[in-house]
Each structure stands twice: as C-alpha cells, then as structure tokens.
Structure 1
Amino acid sequence: MKHNAVTTSAAAQRTSVYRPSIMSRLKRDKWMYALLLPGLIYFLVFKYVPMWGVLLAFKNYQPFLGFWKSEWVGFEHFRLFFTNPDFFMLLRNTLVLSFYNLIFFFPAPIIAALMLNEVRIALYKRAVQTLIYVPHFISMVIVASLTYVFLTTEGGPVNEWLSAHTGKTVDFLTSPDWFRPLIIIQTIWKECGWGTIIFLAALAAVDVEQYEAAIVDGANRLRQLWHITLPALRSTIVILLILRMGHVLDNGFEQIYLMLNPLNRENAEVFDTYVYMMGITQGAFSYSTAVGLFKSVVGVILVLGTNWLAKRFGQSGLY
C-alpha cells in the first residue's frame, strides 16, 4: 500500500501543470508582447494621461495663474451646469438623438449583414459590400456639403423637384423638425456598411451543417434565419449594444456642429457642441470640463448597468 501511495504521488507531481513565472513568460514571448507596445502607448498617452485634466472641473482655472495656483471650487461648476436653463434642453436633444440612433441606426448593419449573407452570387455580393463600405471613408465635411447641395432651397435638386410637382419647397436645413431625421439618414448612409463587417464575420463562423440539417428537417429561409442565423449573432449584438450605451450622451461633435445653425438650435444643440461653445469659444475651461466629466460618468454607469442586465438575462457581457 505504501509503495502504491508513493507511486500515485509521483505520478500526480509529474502530471501537475507547470505555471511559468511572469518574467519567464515575458522572456519567452517577448516579441508577441512587443506587438502590444504601440496600442499600450496610444492608450497611455491619449486616454489615461489626459484623465489628469478632469481636475479642472473642480477648479476655477485661470490661464495666467496656471493649473496649480487656480482656486479650488469643488462642485460649483456642476451646480451651475445642473441649474442652467439650457441643461434640460441639452439633455432632451441628446437623449432623443441617441434614442433615434438606437432604434434606426443600430439595427441597420444587422439587417444589411443578414441580407448580404443570403446572397449566393459571390461577385454581386463583393460589389455590394464595396459600394456600402465606401461612404465610411468619406469625410463628414463632405457628407454635410452634399446634404447642403441636395437640400438647399436655392437650386437644390430635391427642392427643385418638390417645387415642380407640388409648387412648394421645404427648408430642410434650417427646420428644427428636419434636423434629427437628416442626422439619422447621414449616419445610416455613412456607417451602415462599415458596421456589417463585424456581423458578417460572426456569420462566417456558423457551421454550414446546421443549415443543411435545417433544410433536411423542412425549414425554409425564414426559419433558418430565426433559429440559426440570429442566435449566432446574439452575443455580438449584446456586446455592441453594451458598448453603444456608453455613448448615449456622446452624439459626436463634428456631424452635429456642421449641421447646426441658429434656426435649428432648439433641437440641434447637444452636450458635445455645448462643450465646444463654452470651452473653446468662451474660454470657460473648468465649466466645459465639468460637462465632459458628467458625460463620462453617465456613460460608465450605463455600460456597467447594461452589462449587469445582460448577465441577468444569461448573456456573457463584457466581463
């Protein structure tokens, strides 16, 4: 019995998993870790080091006094922001635009990917993919310029057609009611194709035998889509939705700023343009930093909350 116990112990020691130290792993895979350096340096320099600047939100920053000599004011800038008459207008405009993006833009790449996945002619599929990818590489300045050229009341083809057929023109560019639809249409046209890349990659991993088995069982295309294709995309959709929730108060500055004018400001002004106006044009650096910090904190809370809900419903989430 003693001999058997010793033999068993020795075998267990031989089969135990060897766990190399951190230094040995770094030495062994040094070139692999070297590939991480550009990304790590980027995030360190442009993401983490600038976080030191959020302290401006708690100071009354004066450029001639410098950062350290400027007076600490605590949460004064946040109090001014939350009591500002424009706060609820900014919050409403930002949330409504984010809601429209979530309802109309977020499903668009999914639908486009599902449609492309059903195309069986490879040449036609590649041609369509190329055409819908191209707008992503067009500058938003060009997109706004094209929008102006097509929709202006002074010679724009859309209003020329409306005038010829209805006798009336529509002031798309200055009407507050048309601002949000124009932003959503621009976003879908520019980014829908590029967003399909992730979903097409997820669909490429689906086992073809599942479709073949479904066909044998008599499932039509719609049944295959519902029971095989969509479940394959579920985890990808959930992760992208969680990440999207972090941008609920971040509608993007450039697009909004290019389409913003005094006549549509009632529906167009959002937190991003407000930060630019207060921080750059009016020099209220501490106040604009407080607004930006408020956006970031809300984004983190929404990401964590959405991730928690995803796990509650049985999804993997971000972590």
Structure 2
Amino acid sequence: MTEATDMGTAAAEGLREILEKNVGSRNIATFAETESPVSWDALVRAGWVEIADDSGEDGLSLRDLVEVVRVWGAFCVPLPLVPTLVTRRHSAAAREFDGPVTLSVPTPQTTAGWGAVPFGQRTDIGVLDSFDGGTVVPVPESSVVNFAPTLGAAEIPWTTTTTDAPARELAVLWAAEAAGIARTLVTISVEYTRDRQQFGKPIGSFQAVKHILADAHIAAEQSDTSALWAAADQARAFEVSAHAIEQAVDVAERAIQVHGGMGFTWEMGLHFYLRHLLTLRDLVAGLAESHRS
C-alpha cells in the first residue's frame, strides 16, 4: 500500500486543526440533530470542497483523500463533504453547481427503482443524475429517512447513473469515513472506562472490559487497514470497503457494550455513530451491487 503524499498529509492535518477547534471532544448528541458545529459556507470559503477537483498528477490521489476523510469521519460532522468531493471530482456539472452535491444510490433498504440520497434533506443541495454527462437537479419529491440524523438522507424515485471510477471512490471514502469513526469510538470507550467507577475501581480495570476494548481496538485497526487497502486495490475496492465498514460497525457495538446501560441512552449519543455506519454499509452495498460484473 502506498503512503499519502505530502500534500495529502498536509490537507488531513489542516482539516484536523479546523475540526479540533470547532468540534473538539463535543458529544455527538449535542449536534447530530441540530446545527452542525462547522458551517458549509466555512468549508466553501476555505476551499475544502475543491480539494478533490483535480484528479490528475498534480491533484490529490485517492490515497490522499482517504487520509483526509479518515479525519473527517473521526468527528462525524453532519455535512455532505464526501459526496460533494466525489461528484465534483468526476462531474463538470457538479463543479459548476453553486452548493453541495450528492447522488442517489440504490440500497438493500430502498424500494426497487428508488435510491437513498445522503443529505437529501438539505434545502441547498443538488442531486447529480448521471456521472456520464449528467446534470445537477433539485432534490425531487422525496421520503425523509430519519434513521441516521448525521447523514440526513432522503429517498427519491430514481438513482444516479454511476460509472466505475466514482462509484469505487465513493465506496473507498465511505470506508475511510467509517474507519475514522471507529477510531473515535475506541477513544471514547477507553476514556469512559477510565472514569466510570464500580466497586471502587475504574471499570477498565476489569478483565472482561479489557477484553472488549482489546477486540474493539483490533477491529478499528482492521477497519483502518482495509480502507487503505481498498484505495490500492481497484479490483476488490467494493469488497474491501465493505469489510472496513463492517469492522467499524463491530467497534460501535462493542463501544455500546462497554458503556453498559448508558450506552443505550440518547444523551450518550453512541447510537448516532452506529446508525451512521449502518447507513454507510447500505450505501456501499448498493454501489457494489450496481457495479457487480
């Protein structure tokens, strides 16, 4: 697997600085269903939505974008950065559109002929109808999907025509996003088990909890490695991306487990991460099925 270029590493660190400043260690429950701690306009003004526009030798590679999106995923900000990056990278119509751009993806959960539209609930977003000389149109009459508030999805009665390259890159970057979430969940879980006391001891000192945390750490490592591998292996990109997300889902489930009863509360917010990951899993499954040879 190749390393990210200096440009990709610098972009990832720059984004991390912005997110640390605006999001930091805030509980996801404080912003998942309300206003994003980072505004879309701020990303536009800083040029972040344009970083993937040049896919040539002088632009960021897919491996570089994985580096950036892993950071993005770690903060789980409810903004359409990933679909906008990929649609702009592969569509002139998306680059010309004045606002975020998304797409419609068939998933195992949608009715035949319908697609799930990440962030389709936004009023300023457009939907790309095709990567093959398509146009960006307003979100048509849709059904709101409230399962994952951080993805603000809707369902519409058609799907975007995707070619192989953007479909593969979307799968890889959604895997990278999942890997970033997995890392955050491990950190949250370790900190909780250090602070939470039972029988006069931190629960992290109990052998059973240590085993769960160790398994979560291993799964997070596997998710991260799989996202990198997916970027390097075009032939198996969908398969390996799906594995990366599945490992991240495993981390989320273990995080909820070590939090005990608190893990199921709305205020703790762990369910937002899990719902986000489950939706990413469906989106990648839909892309993979559409491009199955």
TM-score normalized by the length of structure 1: 0.26
More strand as a share of residues: 2
Which is higher, the Rg of structure 1 or of structure 2? 1
The answer to which structure, 1 or 2, has the higher relative contact order (CA under 8 A, 6+ apart) is: 1
More helix as a share of residues: 1
TM-score normalized by the length of structure 2: 0.28
